[in-house]
Amino acid sequence: MFYSKFKKHVEALLFASGDPIAISKIAQLIDIPEEHVDLLIGQLIDEMADDNRGLTIVKVADGYQLCTKPELSEVIKKLAQVQDSKLSLAAMETLSIIAFKQPITKLEIESIRGVKIDKVLAKLLERQMIKEVGRKETIGRPILYGTTDEFLKSFGLNDLKDLPELAELLP
């Protein structure tokens, strides 16, 4: 079938959408007739019926959605338990300061933010977004903080050099 080359396009759209997507929308996006999209979705459903596959396509709210198979719900629940919620605005601000100014002390971060950061710092350490990178050579030898590989992974960076220049972010 001429349109079978579009099967990967349909699968990619279902994956990228996350939400149910109508056949008419898929047809419009890849510029093929709706009846061909319907056939391609049927083929994908058949292929994913294999016991070795973890995904399936389900019809939901006048559209189709890529989902995990129901029998895998227990392993998906474990994943949900591991993932924490998003970082708060205070945590993002603190993390940004650390990323751009590292190595930096707690006192230096607090002077930039103008507020105490004990809880935020503890949360960032707990989530392994930052780590202790040494001690400052000054009175009291305060802890220096820097970002981690987990930080890089979370923000899709290969290296700290991938951060934008701070001047570019300022008005």
Alpha-carbon torsion (161, 163, 164, 170), positive or negative: negative
Query: For residues 10 and 27, is the Cβ–Cβ distance under 8 A?
Result: no
Percent of the chain predicted with pLDDT > 90:
60
Task: Please give the pLDDT value at position 25.
Answer: 95
pTM of the complete model: 0.53
Query: For residues 40 and 4, is the Cβ–Cβ distance under 8 A?
Result: yes
What would the pLDDT profile of 76-120 be if each residue is shown by its tens digit? Answer: 877 766 555 578 899 999 999 999 999 999 999 999 999 999 999
Task: Please give the pLDDT value at position 81.
Answer: 61
What would the pLDDT profile of 115-156 be if each residue is shown by its tens digit? Answer: 999 999 999 999 999 999 999 999 999 999 999 988 888 888
Q: Which domains does the chain have, with CATH numbers?
A: 2-74 (1.10.10.10), 89-169 (1.10.10.10)
Q: What is the mean pLDDT of the chain?
A: 88
How many Å apart are CA 120 and CA 88, to the nearest integer?
9
Phi, psi of 21 (to 5 degrees): -130, 130
Q: What is the 3 state secondary structure string of 24-81?
A: HHHHHHHCCCHHHHHHHHHHHHHHHCCCCCCEEEEEECCEEEEEECHHHHHHHHHHHH
Centroid of chain to Cα 27: 28
Percent of the chain predicted with pLDDT > 70:
91
What would the pLDDT profile of 55-84 be if each residue is shown by its tens digit? Answer: 999 888 788 999 888 898 888 877 766 555
